């Protein structure tokens, strides 16, 4: 059965109702992708999150009461918490066997569900280890409980727990090192492949964009490469590359699709995915895919650009590709094209539908002209 979840969002008091609704909707979409079921939504307006528990104390008690009554399985907080804050919250809910996650935990669980390649799996494990923080010691204590048998009094058990925490920390540090060195090897491999492509004269174009904007669908439409296209967040977790012929310049270029971005992606997560994102970092040109129907388009464009800045590729040449034009009626499409053409003129906007393969020839022309 799908787990029952209470969603909690802590927002600054000045957040508009539309924005707060959009934030919770996005979290709910993530939860649906994970396979959970929302039973209660809670919003707390707060200028400064609580230092110890992020959620204010009164709110925590209120949530606990309702969680018991409704038999919730998880509390998911729509923010990025410090590991210590999640740990403190977990302790408040552990008696009821209710787990507490923040947004990063949820994203990592979705990643884990969708990962198919060894590289993606290792990157997720790395990000998870880094995100666990003091919760690692909880794992140490669990080891004690499982293996501790009734030996000795409370003092002895505590001593054993500390030993286990130390063992756990050492084990995790070693694991982190091993993953990093394995990922480096994979990255080296990618690098030599990239160099060989470069030597063959191929220019590279990377598709970037918010999750679910249609990146994989566009790669498939342009290159016939068989990739996973799904109405799910974070359907793609690795890099796929296809060959694209540009009739105007009579050249082939290589087009890559990769993991989608989302607002407030923690930097630790971005860096854990460095080897997958290397295609973006090394591309000659970026195609930034934007869902033209999204009423939060502007915020999502900014969120993608923030991640690109974090990857130090915000200075690269970038074409804005407005996708899913098939979903607009003629009048709204005309209006949208006129507005976006002037607003984003520095990014040579192109308007396409990856699904119905509309205007792809024009896109190829613009790509050819920009390479």
Ligand X SMILES: Nc1nc2c(ncn2[C@@H]2O[C@H](COP(=O)(O)OP(=O)(O)OP(=O)(O)O)[C@@H](O)[C@H]2O)c(=O)[nH]1
Q: What is the distance between the alpha carbons of residues 2 and 262, in angstroms, rounded to a whole number?
A: 24
**Of 72 and 304, which CB lies nearer to ligand X in the complex structure?**
304
Phi/psi for 65 (5° steps) reads: -60, -50
Could you tell which of Mg ion, ligand X, none binds residue 213, using a CB distance below 5 to 8 A set by kind? Answer: ligand X
Q: What is the distance between the alpha carbons of residues 66 and 69, in angstroms, rounded to a whole number?
A: 5
Q: Name all contacts of 177-184 with Cβ < 8 Å and 24+ positions apart.
A: 179/122, 179/125, 179/126, 179/129, 180/126, 182/122, 183/119, 183/122, 183/123, 183/126, 183/274, 183/275
Residue with the CB atom nearest ligand X in the bound state: 260
State which of residues 233, 235, 318, 321 lies at the interface with Mg ion (CB under 5 A): 235
Q: How far is the CB of 115 from Mg ion (least distance, A)?
A: 13
* Secondary structure class of 202 (helix, strand, coil): coil
State which of residues 78, 88, 204, 216 lies at the interface with Mg ion (CB under 5 A): 216
Could you tell which of ligand X, Mg ion, none binds residue 233, using a CB distance below 5 to 8 A set by kind? Answer: ligand X
**Of 173 and 281, which CB lies nearer to ligand X in the complex structure?**
281
Q: How far is the CB of 306 from Mg ion (least distance, A)?
A: 20
DSSP assignment of 291-348 equals: ETT-TTHHHHHHHHHHHHHHTT-TTS-EEEEEE-GGGS-HHHHHHHHHHHHHHTGGG-
Q: What is the distance between the alpha carbons of residues 368 and 92, in angstroms, rounded to a whole number?
A: 58
**Of 214 and 368, which CB lies nearer to ligand X in the complex structure?**
214
Pick the piece of the chain touching Mg ion (CB under 5 A) from 211-219, 265-273, 316-324, 338-346: 211-219
Q: What is the distance between the alpha carbons of residues 195 and 260, in angstroms, rounded to a whole number?
A: 25
Q: Are 246 and 201 in contact (CB under 8 A)?
A: no
Could you tell which of Mg ion, ligand X, none binds residue 353, using a CB distance below 5 to 8 A set by kind? Answer: ligand X
**Of 270 and 355, which CB lies nearer to ligand X in the complex structure?**
355
Count residues near Mg ion (CB under 5 A). Answer: 4
Contact positions vs ligand X (CB under 6 A): 209, 211-217, 229-236, 260, 323-324, 326-327, 353-355
| Residue of 37, 34, 122, 31 whose CA lies nearest to 77 | 31
Residue 236 binds to Mg ion (criterion: CB under 5 A):
yes
Q: How far is the CB of 101 from Mg ion (least distance, A)?
A: 24
Phi/psi for 243 (5° steps) reads: -95, 135
Could you tell which of ligand X, Mg ion, none binds residue 211, using a CB distance below 5 to 8 A set by kind? Answer: ligand X
**Of 168 and 363, which CB lies nearer to ligand X in the complex structure?**
363
Q: How far is the CB of 40 from ligand X (least distance, A)?
A: 27
Phi/psi for 350 (5° steps) reads: -125, 145
**Of 89 and 235, which CB lies nearer to ligand X in the complex structure?**
235
Could you tell which of ligand X, Mg ion, none binds residue 231, using a CB distance below 5 to 8 A set by kind? Answer: ligand X
User: Contact positions toward Mg ion, by CB under 5 A?
Assistant: 215-216, 235-236
């Amino acid at each position: 059965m799908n787990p029952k979840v209470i969603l909690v969002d802590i927002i600054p008091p000045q957040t508009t109702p539309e924005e707060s609704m959009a934030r919770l909707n996005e979290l709910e979409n993530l939860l649906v992708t994970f396979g959970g079921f929302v039973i209660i939504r809670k919003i707390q307006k707060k200028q400064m999150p609580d230092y110890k528990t992020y959620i204010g104390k009164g709110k925590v008690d209120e949530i606990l009461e309702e969680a018991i009554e409704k038999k919730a399985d998880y509390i998911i907080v729509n923010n990025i918490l410090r590991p210590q804050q999640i740990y403190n919250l977990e302790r408040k809910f552990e008696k009821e066997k209710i787990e507490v996650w923040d947004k990063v935990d949820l994203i990592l669980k979705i990643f884990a569900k969708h990962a198919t390649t060894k590289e993606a799996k290792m990157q997720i494990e790395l990000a998870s280890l880094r995100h666990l923080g003091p919760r690692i010691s909880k794992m140490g204590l669990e080891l004690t409980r499982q293996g501790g048998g009734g030996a000795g009094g409370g003092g002895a058990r505590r001593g054993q727990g500390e030993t286990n925490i130390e063992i756990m920390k050492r084990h995790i540090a070693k694991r982190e090192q091993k993953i990093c060195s394995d990922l480096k090897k994979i990255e080296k491999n990618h690098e030599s492949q990239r160099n060989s492509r470069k030597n063959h004269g191929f220019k590279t174009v990377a598709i970037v964009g918010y999750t679910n904007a249609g990146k994989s669908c566009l790669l498939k439409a342009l290159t016939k490469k068989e990739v996973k296209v799904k109405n799910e967040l974070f359907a793609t977790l690795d890099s796929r590359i296809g060959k694209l012929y540009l009739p105007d310049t009579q050249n082939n270029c290589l087009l890559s699709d990769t993991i989608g971005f989302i607002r407030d992606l923690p930097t630790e997560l971005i860096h854990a995915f460095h080897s997958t994102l290397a295609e973006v970092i090394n591309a000659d040109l970026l195609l930034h895919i934007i869902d033209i129907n999204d009423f939060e388009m502007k915020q999502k464009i900014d969120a993608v650009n923030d991640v690109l800045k974090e990857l130090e590729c915000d200075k690269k040449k970038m074409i804005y590709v407005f996708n899913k034009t098939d979903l607009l009626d003629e009048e709204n499409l005309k209006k949208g094209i006129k507005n976006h053409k002037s607003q984003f003129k520095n990014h040579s906007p192109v308007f396409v539908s990856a699904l119905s393969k509309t205007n792809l020839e024009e896109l190829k022309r613009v790509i050819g002209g920009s390479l």
